[in-house]
Amino acid sequence: MQIGGFGGLTSLLGDHSAAPAVGSAVEGKSPKSVLFIFLAGGPSHLDTFDMKPDAPAEIRGEFAPIATKTPGLQVCEHLPLLAQRTDKFTLVRTLALKSGSDAVHELAAPLILSGTDLHPAGSGTVWSRHDWPCYGGALEYVRPREDGLPSGVSLPYVIGPFPGQDAGFLGPLYDPWRMNIDLNNPAFDPESMRLPDGFSLSRLSRRNELLTALSKAGGGHPKERQFRKHQERAFKLLARGSMATAFDLKAEPRKILERYGDHLWSKSLVFGRRLIEAGVPIVQVNLGHPYFWDTHIDNFKGHKETLLPPFDRAFSALLDDMEASGLLEETLVVAVGEFGRTPKIGGNVGTPMFSPTGRDHWVHCFCGLFAGAGVQPGQVIGRTDSTASYPVTNPYFPSDLGATIFSTLGVDLHSEIRDRFGRPYRVNEGQVMQTLYDASRTS
């Protein structure tokens, strides 16, 4: 297990009005958590949720659209289960990045994963402590936990060398858990997060008291104090035991597991849901490592055989599960990649990869799925032009996605975070995507 998180960036404090809260949109349970499903590599919006069957062949591609539960909405033929569940989620078709220069995974992903539109000084295409803090890192900074649970967890693997997967300039003390584990390996043992048999809480407490005394006697160097805080968290985690319970699939009914399918993504989503149930406020599940949806070559073969079937099955089961348990009422579920793909098959926008059978990177519009926490399901928000090249209605940027996520978590968007030089920043500069919660609004 390693420490780490999600990703992102923003700008300096300014005079901005507070974004509206989203909690009022929920009847019953108040929203309190976010399950962020990251489709690393950038799925093709034209071959999934924004198909253009009337466009020329080099645009529309090989797949046929099928009807859904939502009147007038069609999706890809290889998403039959989700087609029957469009009444459980809302589709946004006009997500976009503000700069075409961000059409690189290592630049686009941190923006999406943290909810910001700008790259801070000193950051780049590889990880560094100049990066803007991820969702979990920022949440831990503005609302630190004292109960032994992390503010954020990402799993099942680290997304390559991408920046923005930890607390960035806030420092390692605020890093969420970044798990890099093989969930298909029988040797994976969640018991490492639980006290061993015969080891009592009182014994653990005595050991912690001894460490505290030794730490005070050592003089309290800043790095030592920081390490001591990590130790305190470890003690609280072991005493609580809920994280080990979340990773124990033996407690999960076999019938439920079978609905998700026998796939790494299936297990990852089950673990993600169980971590939310355990009380972790934001969980990021990475479905793609690190360029899995990056279909420069054999775009249609990849989507048909490798990508869409396991996603369709596992995400459908997740929605059914969370709705049946009531967890969907208090959890915002988001599924999105870092960008879309070129409208023209074989199109090239300057990346080194090129093939007449694939689609290149496209930042001007792409799709995202949203459910739960007061989101009005069954909507289609946003409209693109005839080739799915550009939005016809207002686009939503990473900062707006971030504003929606932070508001769901109850974080004031004016909350201040400070870098290692003490410079103040707003935690987010976007606007809540209010159309998600009010079906009467225009997109």
Each residue of 400-419: pLDDT tens digit?
A: 999 999 999 999 999 999 99
Residues 78 and 310: beta-carbon distance below 8 Å: no
Label the pairing between strands 33-38 and 331-336: parallel
Residues 386 and 367: beta-carbon distance below 8 Å: no
| pLDDT, tens digit (0-9, with 9 covering 90-100), for 332-357 | 999 999 999 999 999 988 888 879 99
Please determine, for residue 9, whether its predicted confidence score (pLDDT) is greater than 50: no
Q: Select from 217, 195, 196, 214 the least CA-distant residue to 148.
A: 195
- Cα gap 89→310, rounded to integer Å: 18
The class of domain 2-193+263-436 in CATH terms is alpha beta
| pLDDT, tens digit (0-9, with 9 covering 90-100), for 86-111 | 999 999 999 999 999 999 999 999 99
- Cα gap 311→306, rounded to integer Å: 9
Q: Return the ∠ at Cα 145 (arms to 144 and 150), rounded to 5°.
A: 105
At position 392, the amino acid (one-letter code) is V
Residues 6+ apart with CB under 8 A from 395: 94, 95, 96, 365, 382
**What's 132's DSSP letter?**
P
236-245, 271-280, 304-313, 413-422: segment of lowest average pLDDT: 236-245
Q: Select from 314, 270, 275, 347 the least CA-distant residue to 44.
A: 347
The domain spans of the chain are: 2-193+263-436
What element of type H or E holds 140? helix 135-142
